[in-house]
Each structure stands twice: as structure tokens, then as C-alpha cells.
Chains A and B, each alone.
Chain A
Amino acid sequence: MADAVIVVALLLVAASATVAVATRDPMRQALVLAVLGVVLAVLFTVLQAPDVGLSQLAVGSALTPLLLMLAVRKIRRRGREKEGER
């Protein structure tokens, strides 16, 4: 039973990680990364590492996507300003 849960969690991680690599738009990629963070947290919890799972949940699914999205927003805004000058 526990093995089945581990296998399902591993498959979910593999699937969402593949989607994260295949997504080309950085904004969407950040969102997929957040999903990957949640799935990884589930995997760590299933593997009896709730401490690591909590870190992963806080950093991987909230902080990293947020920083990525803010960075992308800054770059896009700069691009728009440059186009406005032309």
C-alpha cells in the first residue's frame, strides 16, 4: 500500500517536472514550478520526511515562483518601455 503511494507520487513528480521543462513561456513555467513544488512536498511527506516537505512547500511552491514571476514582470516592463520609445 505504502509502495503504491510512493510510486504514484514519483510518477506525479516525473509528469509535472516534464511539463515544467516543456513549457516555454516563463510566466506559465513559474506556475508549473509551483505545482511541481507541491507534488515534491507530497513525495517527501510520503517518504517520511515532513521537515523537508515543509521546506519544499514553502520555498518551492511559494517563494521561487514568486521571485521568478517578479523577475519576468520587470523584464517585460522594460521591454515595453523600450518599444514605447521607438
Chain B
Amino acid sequence: MTRRARLWVLLTGGAGLAVLLVAACLRLPHFGGDRHPYGDRAVHASLARRTANTISSVNFDQRAFDTLGEMTILFAAVLGCVVLLRQTQDERRARPEPADVARPVRRYALLVLPVALLTGLYIVAHGQLSPGGGFQGGVVAATALHLLYLGADYAALERVRPVGRYEVGDALASSAYVVTGIAGLIGGTAFLANTLLPYGTFNTLSSGGTVPLLNAAIGMEVACAVVVLLARFLDQAVEIEEESGR
């Protein structure tokens, strides 16, 4: 295909896409309106199952299968990272020297660490009630642990973070999500159907049927996945060196 022909194909495709996009945008609901056909139905369904946070109801009840897909993507991405960033034959591990940390940085990091960790766990635990959920809280809790690297040094971080256990935790949490789904299939009506557990009292920690369970599984999965991911990156950045003379 000549350059000119390729350009024409590109322009035709681009123009078609632009027309479709404009046509779709013209039929969107107006910006900032307080009514939306999908929003109204989602809120109704979420209230019927006594889940206070509609977003969590969408994520872990109405669209729980989508969340399974997203969890699998994260799991596969972290798995790929672990395989790609492993220590190869021509690399060796060098113990990083204990680093001097400025006093204010150390004080700040050690002060904020427990607060950040608790905030992360709170966001996971209250995913079905208030904004947030397993994903957000998991990332917060996992990154909070790494304040130890800022406040102390790499050796201290490695002591509180046995990567092997987090890898097992990641796999366990992923399976817990699938097992809860299968439980819905066996005891209820369909895979991941929220018909198994009582819905409980509205706006309490145990309300929403399987939503808190799936939310906790995602929280654990994401926290473990982020810790493993950061551990691989930190290993490469701090510890692993190329064998010299190659």
C-alpha cells in the first residue's frame, strides 16, 4: 500500500470515528443534571439490597462479574511484573547500605505510617457504607507500609514485608472472590449472585449480603498485589545489580 493510500484509509477511519463520537455525545444526558436513567435504576437496586454506597453495590453486586475481570487483570499484571523483574543469572544482590534519614523526615514518616495504614483499613472496611472500597483502601494501606522505607531504611521495610506471604495472600484473596461467586451459583441462583446472605440492616457494617465479603476480598487482593509490585520495583532499584564485566 502506498503512503498516499494509507493516509486515505486513516482519514476515512478517523472521520467515521469522529462522526460516531459526535452523534453519541449529542445524545448524552446534559452536564450536571440530577436525573440519569441508569443512575436512578442503580440507586434503586442498591437500596433494595440495603447497600448504602451505590458505587459498591454496582461494583460488587450489580456488576460483580466486571470486578472479577478487573481483579484478574491486576493479578495477571502483577504476575507479569514478578516474572519480568526476577533476578536473572547475570545479576547479583547487593545489600543496600543503611541510609541516613533527616530527622524531620523520619519523625513525619513514622508518625503518619500508622494513621495512613488505619485510614486504608477503614476505607476497606467501610466500602459498602461510604465512598471508597477494597481497591482504594488496599492501595492506601499498601503504600502506607512503604513510609517505613522513607522513615527508616530498606532493611526495616523488608522485615515487616515478607514478600512470599503477600504473594500467597494475593492468590488467596483472588480465589476467595471466585469461591464466593461459586457459592452464589451453588446455594443461590447464579455465579456471583447476591442472594445467598441476608441483606441485614441498612447502613451497618454487615449490610448488603455478599457485598462486604467481595469488598474485603478485593481489598486484600489489591493490598497484596501493590506490595508485591512495589517490592519487585524496589528490589530492582535498590538491591539487584548487574554482574560487572559483561
Residues of chain A at the chain B interface (Cβ within 8 Å)? 3, 50-51, 53-55, 57-59, 62-63, 66-67, 70-71, 73-74, 77-78, 81, 85
Contacts and interface: CB of A to CB of B under 8 A. Distances in A.
Nearest to A58: B139
Given A51-B133, A81-B242, A81-B244, A58 B143 contact: yes
Contacts of B132: 50-51, 54
A67 B233 contact: yes
A50 B177 CA distance: 25
Contact of A74 (B53, B133, B230, B236): B236
B75 interface: no
- Is the interface on chain B under 10, 10 to 19, 20 to 34, or 35 or more residues? 20 to 34
Interface in B187-246: 226, 229-230, 233-234, 236-237, 241-242, 244-245
Given A51-B55, A58-B139, A66-B230, A77 B237 contact: yes
A55 B233 contact: no
Contact of A50 (B131, B236, B242): B131
B98 to A, nearest CB: 18
A67 B143 contact: no
Secondary structure at chain B's binding surface: helix, strand, loop or mixed?
A: helix
Nearest to A75: B237
B139 A62 contact: yes
B49 interface: no
Given A54-B123, A74-B236, A66 B131 contact: no
A53 B136 CA distance: 9
A71 B140 CA distance: 21
A32 to B, nearest CB: 19
Interface of B: 32, 53, 55, 123, 131-133, 135-136, 139-140, 143, 146, 226, 229-230, 233-234, 236-237, 241-242, 244-245
A35 B143 CA distance: 17
Contacts of B226: 63
10 contacts: A50-B132, A51-B53, A51-B131, A54-B123, A58-B143, A62-B139, A62-B143, A67-B229, A67-B230, A81-B244
Contact of B242 (A59, A71, A78): A78
A81 B141 CA distance: 35
Nearest to A6: B32
Contact of B241 (A50, A57, A71, A81): A81
Given A63-B143, A81-B242, A85-B244, A70 B131 contact: no
Given A81-B242, A85-B244, 5 more contacts: A51-B53, A54-B132, A55-B136, A55-B139, A70-B230
